[in-house]
Every structure is written in C-alpha cells, then in structure tokens.
Amino acid sequence: MIYDCIVIGMGISGISAAIYLKNGGLNILMLEKEAPGGLLNKINKINNYPGYAETTGPELSYKVFESVEALEIPYKLEEVVDISLADNLKIVKTNKDTYKTKYIVIASGRNPRKLNIENEKELTGKGVSTCAICDGSLYKGQDIAIVGGGNSALEEAIYLSKLVNKIYLIHRRDTFRAEQSLVNKVKKQANIEILYNSNVTKINSTNDILESIEVNNERTITVKGLFVYVGFESNTGYLKNLNITNESGNILVNAEGETQVDGIYAAGDAIQKDLYQLVTGASEGAIAAVNIIKDINQKENA
Ligand code: NAP
C-alpha cells in the first residue's frame, strides 16, 4: 500500500497534523516509538494551553489522543530508523517494517539533553532522572538536586518542592534563563537552595544507587535524586541521510513547514524555531498538513 502521508511522532504536533490530514480525506499512518503524547507525558503542570486554565501533561496527552481515536487515525508503535527517497515516493523504514508514502510530516520532537558526566547513564533510573512527574514521588521527604536554569528546571523545582524535603537547584550561571515569574516563585520557596555558578562534576553511588553529587569539584552534597533539566536535543539522528537539519540537529523548514526535500514537512520541537511551546507545536502541525493538502490539490489540478 502507498500512503498519502506518514506522520512521524504522536506528540501534540504530529497529532495536530494528523487531524487535519485525516479531515482532508488523506490515507495516513502515524508512527510513534514510545507512547502517544511524547514529551507531554513528562510535563507536570500546564497553564498556557488555551482551553485549560491548568492541567497536567498526561491529562492533555490523553485528551489529544482522544482525537486519534475519534477520527480513527491508524497508528503503529514503531521506531523510524531511516527515510529514503525512491522515484516520487518516500520509503520509511522502522524497527519492524517498511512503508511507502507520498508525503511525510516529521514531528518526532526532542529528547532531554544529558550532562554527559561519568555515571549519569548508569544511574539513570537509579537516582538520576529527567522526569519529575514520573519519578518525583520516589523522593518524598528526601533531599534532591536539580540541574538547569531554564523554564523546565524551575517549573519542576516548584513541583518537586511540594514533595521532597530539600532541593539544591544547581545552575551554571548567576542568572536564570527561565521566565521571571518562575524565578520569583523559586526564590520564595523555603526548601529550595540555589547554587549559582555551579556545575555537577561527579555523581557518586553505592551499590549502583545514587548517593551524592560533587559540585565544582569541591563540595559533596548527599542527595537521593538528581533531576537533569538542561534543555533538549532534537530527535533527528535517523534523518542524517536527508541533509535537512542544521548543526544543532534541528530541521530547517520554510513558512509552509516544508523541508528542502520535496514532500517532506516537519513541525514541533524537532524544527529550528524561536518558540518551543505546545501551542506553536500544534499550530506547526496544522500548517504542514494544510500545505500538504494544498500541494496535492495543486498537482491534481495542474
Ligand atoms: P532551556 O531553556 O534550553 O534551558 C536549559 C538550561 O540548562 C539553561 O539554563 C542552560 O544554561 C542549562 N544547561 C544547558 N546545558 C547545560 C550543561 N551541560 N550543564 C549545565 N547546565 C546546562 O531548556 P528548558 O528549560 O528545557 O526549555 C526548553 C524550551 O521549552 C524553552 O524554549 C522553554 O521556554 C520551553 N518551555 C516552556 C515552558 C512554559 O512555557 N511554561 C515550560 C518548559 C519549557 P544557560 O542558561 O547557561 O544556557
């Protein structure tokens, strides 16, 4: 079978694209390597998505997925490992199968960036985490550390401060990148100690469980958990052959959401842009889809 369009990624951006494509009458397939919702599943509080004064990531993720079910959009939980071009078609290879399609929307999002220090990988799930909403409750009443100075680190610090005993918020500079309102909230929280101009230089463990961290190679702090929120990297390694990413791994698209490869569009956190937000991700998914539908109509009427 040849699909009209394959959408890669079932986060808010991919699902938004799929809604428009399906409503436009296209024969589509969605592919997702983990769980529908993507990064949404890892966000604890959302208060900037219209229609929801306040909600959680998993709750919004569930609501978004309801559209997939309601519109009977076909999807498969498979990881895309390669995309190649053949004649006028795109060949999408996953870990399980190979699919042919006329168009693609890449909405495969981003992965949390790592500190890239010794023991970080080995202790992930054993004290090191990148998901407060998934793992926060494991550290009730304990001391933990959070690394990062952006919106994510500060939002999760506020969330975790209600659960844990004490938080060391470790930031490499002396000013935060996060919004001022979050900075104000963090500074008011009595159980958050901010360590400016600080880097985690070592992670120590006992019996394969995180025991303490070293900061700036000089101070050892005993913590049960280390939450790393130092930004994200586009999940685009599988696109190397297409040459559509910049040096940061972000996909370059034009105003229509199209990459430099004819028929391959991209949307959401995987693209190079100024504003990484749920609303922009949803909007870019719609823009890509509508332009695909326009392109098909133009070719049919040519
Ligand atoms: P971010 O804005 O890129 O911030 C990453 C933070 O980690 C920065 O403070 C950075 O320090 C620090 N950092 C980066 N690499 C590091 C390293 N190797 N070691 C130590 N620190 C390191 O990432 P984010 O906070 O995850 O946010 C990502 C995007 O999503 C942003 O556009 C953000 O606005 C958006 N977001 C929005 C909301 C919201 O609207 N409520 C919530 C979450 C995220 P420097 O400051 O020194 O560079």
For residue 248, give the nearest of 265, 231, 225 by alpha carbon. 231
First to last CA, the chain: 25
Distance 177 CA to ligand 1 centre (A): 7
Task: Give residues (CB < 6 A) around ligand 1.
Answer: 48, 113, 115, 147-153, 155, 172-173, 177, 199, 229-232, 276-277
- From the CA of 232, how far away is ligand 1's center (Å)? 8
Question: Cβ(108)–Cβ(8) under 8 Å?
Answer: yes
Can you tell me the distance from the alpha carbon of 167 to that of 148, in angstroms, rounded to the nearest whole number? 13
User: What's the CA gap between 182 and 38, in Å, rounded?
Assistant: 24
What does the pLDDT look like over 217-262, one tens digit per residue?
999 999 999 999 999 988 888 998 899 999 989 999 999 999 999 9
Angle at 3 between CA 277 and CA 284, to 5 degrees: 15
Distance 272 CA to ligand 1 centre (A): 15
Q: In ligand 1, which atom is closest to the CA atom of 177?
A: 46
Name every residue whose Cβ is closer than 8 Å to that of residue 186 and which is 6 or more positions away in sequence.
154, 157, 158, 169, 176, 192, 194
Give the count of alpha carbons within 13 A of 137, CB side only: 3
Residue 42 has what pLDDT? 87
Return the residue whose CA atom lies nearest to atom 35 of ligand 1.
Answer: 276
Place of tokens 């569009």: 265
Rounded average pLDDT over 144-158: 97
CATH top-level class of 120-228: alpha beta
Average pLDDT score over residue span 298-302:
90
CB atoms within 10 A of CB 33: 18
d(CA 147, CA 200): 8
Q: What is the pLDDT of residue 109?
A: 95
Q: What DSSP character marks residue 150?
A: S
Q: Which residue has the tokens 């280390």?
A: 226
CA–CA gap between residue 115 and residue 230 (Å, rounded): 7
For the chain, the structural domain boundaries read 2-112+232-301, 120-228
Atom number of ligand 1 nearest to Cα 199: 20
> Is residue 7 pLDDT above 90, yes or no?
yes
pLDDT tens figures, 62-77: 999 999 999 999 999 9
Q: Is the pLDDT of residue 173 over 90?
A: yes
Pick the atom of ligand 1 nearest to 231's CA: 23
Report the nearest-CA residue for atom 39 of ligand 1.
151
Q: How far is the CA of 260 from the centre of ligand 1 (A)?
A: 28
Backbone angles phi, psi at 285, to 5 degrees: -60, -45
Give the architecture-level CATH label for domain 2-112+232-301.
3-Layer(bba) Sandwich (3.50)
* 152 Cα–ligand 1 center, Å: 6
Average pLDDT, the chain: 96
The pLDDT assigned to 175 comes to 98
Please give the pLDDT value at position 87: 86
The confidence band for 180, taking pLDDT boundaries of 50, 70 and 90, is very high
| Ligand 1 center–CA 153 separation, angstroms | 7
pLDDT digits (tens, 9 = 90+) for 267-297: 999 999 999 999 999 999 999 999 999 999 9
Is 120-228 in the same CATH topology as 2-112+232-301? yes
Report which protein residue has its CA nearest ligand 1's atom 28: 231
pLDDT reported for residue 242: 95
pLDDT classification of 213: cutoffs 50, 70, 90: very high
Phi, psi of 123 (to 5 degrees): -95, 5
